[in-house]
Amino acid sequence: MTYRQIFDEAIGEAPPTAVDVDALVAREGRRRRRRLGAYGSATAVLALALGVGVVVQPGLPEGGPAPAYSAASAAARTQPERLRSAMLAALDREAPDLLWVRGADPVTDHGTWNGPLTDDPQWSVKPFRWVSMTGWFGVGVAARGDVRSYLAVDVGRPVPGQATGPDECREGMIGCRSFAGPQGERVLTYDVEGYRAPPVSPRQRLAIRYAHVERADGTRVTVQAHSSSDRHLMTVEEMAAVALDPEIRLG
């Protein structure tokens, strides 16, 4: 079965997403201009809404003598570039009208989310070491029409003996659906209630959506989007297809 057949059977027709016509016109330009060069500075990682503890592994130090060459160190240097390319390719395929907020801080300063838009992906990839998993984490602030959203993709493997993220629908998961992917992957998609923290008054609802995929080899991929409004950045179908992309994998 194709991705679309699987999604149509499991979740039905996805609701239309508001799209900026100007963004659609810019799509081809972005594909030509997309640069896969150096990624941005280290970004604090937003903990999953279900309470997973997070510790970000620091990046390579700047300056000082270069480390001795080895095949392992070369692979470590190329891994983030490869994953950055794979993540952006999957996002561009499923949501080609996405733009990016230049200079935005994904986590600590929502005020920066209203900055200027660019078709040059503002997307960084860093290693992570969570309580339950280790792997790689890509993050940026994306825009689609008038929706601005924290957008992240992570890929990793569970730490032996540790419980990982959700693998079935639970209380508090809105519109939760569980189904099999084209290669037998376990797919879980859902929304959660979110609100802008005080001192905002009246309380403002925020749109938060997750798509989790667990592969046969134990690898887990999660796509999450946290909007600054009550409108979602991407449909369930789009986010699940990104999480199922086989190129988003550990080396």
User: Which pLDDT score is estimated for 27?
Assistant: 42
184-191 long-range contacts, CB within 8 A, separation 24+: 184/216, 185/213, 185/214, 185/215, 185/216, 185/244, 186/213, 186/214, 187/10, 187/211, 187/212, 187/213, 187/240, 187/243, 187/244, 188/212, 188/213, 189/11, 189/236, 189/239, 189/240, 191/232
Domain range holding 179? 3-60+67-244
**251 domain residue, yes or no:** no
129 found inside a domain: yes
Confidence at residue 74, expressed as pLDDT on a 0 to 100 scale: 52
Question: Looking at residue 34, what is its pLDDT?
Answer: 40
Q: Apex CA 135: angle with CA 122 and CA 68, to 5°?
A: 90
Sign of CA dihedral 199, 205, 206, 212: positive
Total count of domains within the chain: 1
Contact 130, 174 (CB under 8 A): no
Give the pLDDT of residue 200.
58
Residue 116: inside a domain: yes
Neighbouring C-alpha atoms within 13 Å toward the C-beta of 239: 29
**Residue 249 in domain:** no
User: Residue 12 has what pLDDT?
Assistant: 44
pLDDT along the chain (251 residues), means of 10: 48 38 38 34 32 32 38 64 97 98 91 95 95 95 97 96 82 96 97 79 86 96 96 98 97 84
Task: Print the SS3 string covering 68-114.
Answer: CCCHHHHHHHHHHHHHHHHHHHHHHHHCCCCEEECCCCCCCCHHHHH
pLDDT of residue 20: 36
Answer whether residue 206 is part of any domain. Answer: yes
In a domain, 250, yes or no: no
Classify residue 17: in a domain, yes or no: yes
The amino acid that residue 250 corresponds to is L
pTM of the model: 0.71
Residue 207 in domain: yes
pLDDT at 165: 74
So what's the pLDDT on residue 199? Answer: 65
Other CB atoms within a 10 A radius of the CB of residue 160 amount to 5
